[in-house]
């Protein structure tokens, strides 16, 4: 038996990276999954891989009419919604506050924040009526500390997601519906290359290169993987976390826990040596 047997989940942005691995894991754990994305071919390929317990709906998570369609089709097929993973995301404008383009800012906020609001808005009535359900919103360690994203806009958007999740949790918890967020650290996906201007298809293929780059940026000496986030999400949408509501779980190998020990000690030794020469 899986920990998600017979549950029905919706996952956005599931055609690559974290969303794709989460869809795979949730099906492995026994759930039926409706997943969305804007890339038709990649979505159909994943649906074929996952088999009869999944269905792909091409949809844009920033559009309310697409959310209405996704929820309606999910209810028509399965009669209930037990879980939502608001995962759809992407890069935001980089550079100085003095040069951020307004249209780029608005697009990023729509993709990173409006999509989360719309997802919660449209699954909440069903979950409230059921008096059960779990919503997980994908955040970032960039929501916790400045300088942990290539984009200050991305950081601000993820901070909004973190707070919006808590606000919704306080309301929906009264209906036995839980809302939490997960904040990934340096996960080996194509999102950083995308933010730096690499074409989408090529950026996804650079995940292995990102694994090499991010292997030493936190105390645990390996890169974060989509699997790490998928496991956390699967637990949060399961009944095993039934008393967990309104929190953000950081999954970053200790990156924002403090200064890394060995470089810190090396710096102290260098400082100590400089004192001896005075």
- Active-site positions? 154
In terms of Cβ atoms closer than 10 Å to its own Cβ (0-12, 13-18, 19+), residue 175 is middle
Handedness of CA 111, 112, 115, 119 (dihedral sign): positive
- 152: nearest Cα among 89, 97, 190, 194: 97
Structure tokens given for 53: 């317990």
Return the SS3 of 134. strand
**57-89 as b/e: b if 16+ CB within 10 A:** bebbbbeeebbebbbeebeeebebbbbbbbbbb
Distance CA 26, CA 5 (A): 9
Q: What angle do CA 16, 18, 23 make, to 5 degrees?
A: 80
Per residue, the 3-state secondary structure of 1-51, as one string, reads: CCCCCCCEEEECCCCCHHHHHHHHHHHHCCCEEEEEECCHHHHHHHHHHHH
| Cβ atoms within 10 Å, residue 256 | 15
Distance CA 195, CA 174 (A): 39
Q: How many CA atoms lie within 13 A of 46 on its CB side?
A: 28
Structure tokens given for 93: 């404008």
């Amino acid at each position: 038996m899986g920990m998600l047997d017979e549950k029905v989940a919706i996952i956005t942005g599931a055609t690559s990276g974290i969303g794709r691995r989460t869809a795979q894991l949730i099906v492995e754990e026994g759930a039926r999954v409706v997943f969305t994305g804007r890339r038709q071919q990649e979505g159909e390929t994943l649906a074929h891989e996952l088999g009869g317990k999944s269905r792909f709906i091409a949809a844009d998570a920033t559009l309310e009419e697409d959310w209405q369609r996704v929820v309606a089709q999910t209810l028509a097929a399965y009669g209930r919604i037990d879980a939502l993973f608001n995962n759809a995301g992407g890069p935001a404008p980089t550079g100085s506050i003095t040069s951020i383009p307004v249209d780029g800012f608005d697009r990023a906020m729509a993709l990173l924040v409006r999509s989360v609001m719309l997802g919660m808005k449209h699954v909440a009535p069903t979950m409230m009526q059921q008096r059960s359900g779990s919503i997980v919103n994908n955040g970032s360690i960039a929501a916790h500390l400045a300088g942990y994203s290539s984009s200050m806009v991305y950081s601000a958007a993820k901070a909004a997601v973190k707070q919006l999740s808590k606000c919704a949790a306080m309301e929906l918890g009264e209906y036995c519906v839980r809302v939490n967020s997960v904040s990934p650290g340096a996960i080996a996906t194509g999102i950083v290359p995308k933010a730096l201007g690499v074409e989408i298809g090529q950026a996804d293929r650079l995940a292995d290169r990102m694994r090499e780059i991010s292997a030493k940026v936190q105390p645990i000496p390996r890169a974060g993987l989509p699997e790490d986030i998928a496991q956390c999400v699967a637990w949060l949408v399961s009944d095993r976390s039934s008393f967990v509501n309104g929190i953000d779980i950081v999954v970053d190998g200790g990156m924002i826990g403090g200064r890394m020990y060995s470089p810190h000690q090396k710096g102290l030794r260098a400082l100590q040596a400089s004192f001896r020469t005075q």
